[in-house]
A and B are shown apart, each in its own frame.
Chain A
Amino acid sequence: MKTAITAARIASAVAAATSMAFAASPALAEGTASKIDAADTAWMISASALVLMMTIPGLALFYCGMVRKKNVLATMAQSFACTMLCSLLWFAFGYSLSFVGDGPWLGTLERLFLRGTSMEATSTLAPTIPELLFMFYQMTFAIITVALVGGAVADRMRFSAFLWFAAGWLILVYVPIAHWVWGGGFLAKAGVLDFAGGTVVHLNAGVAGLVAAYVVGKRHGYGNENFAPYDLSLAVIGTGLLWVGWLGFNGGSALGAGARAAFAITATHLAASTGALTWMFLEWWTRGKPSVLGMISGAVAGLGTITPASGFVLPWHGVVIGLIAGAVCFWACTWLKLKFGYDDSLDVLGVHGVGGATGTLLTGVFAVGVLSASPETPAGSTGLLEGNPRQLLIQLYGVVVVLIWSGVLTYVLLKVIGFLVPLRVSEQHEIEGLDLTQHGEALQ
């Protein structure tokens, strides 16, 4: 019996192979356009894992190393909670509303609870990988964006209020913007270029962080007490994980295993290196010492700034963008912040917001057509240097829209949540530390 089945299998396999071999080649070529590609799929699974690693443990370590000892676990809890919560919301309707359907404002509910993502299903946005994988990859972006915002309110926001905020912000702010820029919404149609999230992720998180820091209020003792980081070595490890993960973040945004991914990771890595060196030397020059916190801040600034440009620019552009990123973000964190006196605990605005906006504008300057050329658009997306100054204006338009939507909606959302539950812990609890008062645990 067994032998009979095996023989039948072999026979059918041979038949299939023969029919494939003799099939007319044009038909085969036509078919591959929307076929799942093994190499693309393999790379995108790896890239998804890398981006997830950026949040847990990358961002969790980066952030927790910069707070005081009494708030280390609470800060890690924010990154962890974002991962759990946003994953489920993304599965339920976040993906569908962001990436299914090409209406100008919002996607559809066609993939509610991922119904219809069959074995063969692909998204028109990523035709060579399973749609489920595209969903998963984008999920890891949603997670880290929400987790990034948490850094601005570290040390004082109540955990329960943060959970309400994370869920609400994903739905009201992240999902629409992701659709507008990446899901075929009105910013995509206007031609805004954002390869891996300069607007959707970094500017968005930075602006939300600034507004949240303002609404929640300054930390107790801000400006008087010593807020020196508990353990910067944790932040260094976190930065390393972010940096490596970013190769999946930007390289994976090519949505396939090809030359564009290679260009993206090269520009990314060079921008991170240049950003870190720039910040380090600026600090050495102005403050007398090249701090480790300065180096890692510069690296993350370079990474955030190259993000929107990474798949549109050449390696040397990455160096220039990294240089600008290190300088601008250093200025934002050491001058702008003190000038305006907002207490963005971990500089979400100064590093990510300013970096994301700068990078989005620089994409309009440096974009090289050949990197994004396709059969549909043979000229690709070009920037100012290739004689297309209009792109810079389109980029500015994208930045302004994201800035306003993120700023206004974050404000409204926090005001509504603040009306229902207290946003921050009591002064007594803040002094005791969030680890103990929010989670009942403490580092010894």
Chain B
Amino acid sequence: MKLVIAIIKPFKLEEVRDALVAIGVHGMTASEVKGYGRQKGHTEIYRGAEYVVNFLPKIRVEVAVPSDRVEKVVDTIIESAKTGQIGDGKIFVTAIDQAVRIRTGETDVDAL
């Protein structure tokens, strides 16, 4: 099992979700986060006072999938989240040691 973590632009969330559902992903977690990479931040001006805002709003999507599905999921996220502009985000993939569905007690791939 793998955990795919994608940091995407907030307005791309629905597109990514729809694309993942279309390839058979049943569930995911999304959270509002702040961060920056190469995009750095932006400048805000309030009555002449300039503030550099480093942390920009992003969405962090987490999807747990069987190992053989990782490539498909990653490709789907890239396809749906890409605008070609700086700041599109990143995808990280890590291993999952264990998964449990709380309601039934099912474990690992059965729990996904």
Contacts and interface: CB of A to CB of B under 8 A. Distances in A.
Nearest to B52: A226
A117 B46 CA distance: 48
Interface string B34-55: 0000000000111111011100
- In this complex, which of A227, A228, A297, A335 has the most chain B Cβ atoms within 10 angstroms of its Cβ? A228
A334 B45 CA distance: 10
A287 B46 contact: no
A417 B68 CA distance: 72
A289 B47 contact: no
A323 B49 CA distance: 23
Contacts of A347: 47
- In this complex, which of B46, B48, B51 has the most chain A Cβ atoms within 10 angstroms of its Cβ? B48
A227 B49 contact: yes
A212 B97 CA distance: 61
B52 to A, nearest CB: 8
DSSP class of A's interface residues: helix, strand, loop or mixed? Answer: helix
Contacts of A289: 45
Nearest to B54: A226
B43 to A, nearest CB: 10
Interface residues of B, number: 9
A338 B45 contact: no
A289 B49 CA distance: 14
Contact of A229 (B46, B48, B53): B46
Contacts of A350: 47
B45 A333 contact: no
Contact of A333 (B44, B47, B53): B47
Contacts of B49: 227, 338
Contact of A294 (B44, B47, B52, B53): B47
28 contacts: A66-B46, A226-B51, A226-B53, A227-B46, A227-B49, A227-B51, A228-B44, A228-B46, A228-B51, A228-B53, A229-B46, A287-B45, A289-B45, A291-B45, A291-B46, A293-B46, A293-B47, A297-B47, A333-B47, A333-B48, A334-B47, A334-B48, A335-B48, A337-B48, A338-B48, A338-B49, A347-B47, A350-B47
Given A228-B53, A291-B45, A291-B46, 5 more contacts: A226-B53, A228-B46, A333-B48, A334-B47, A350-B47
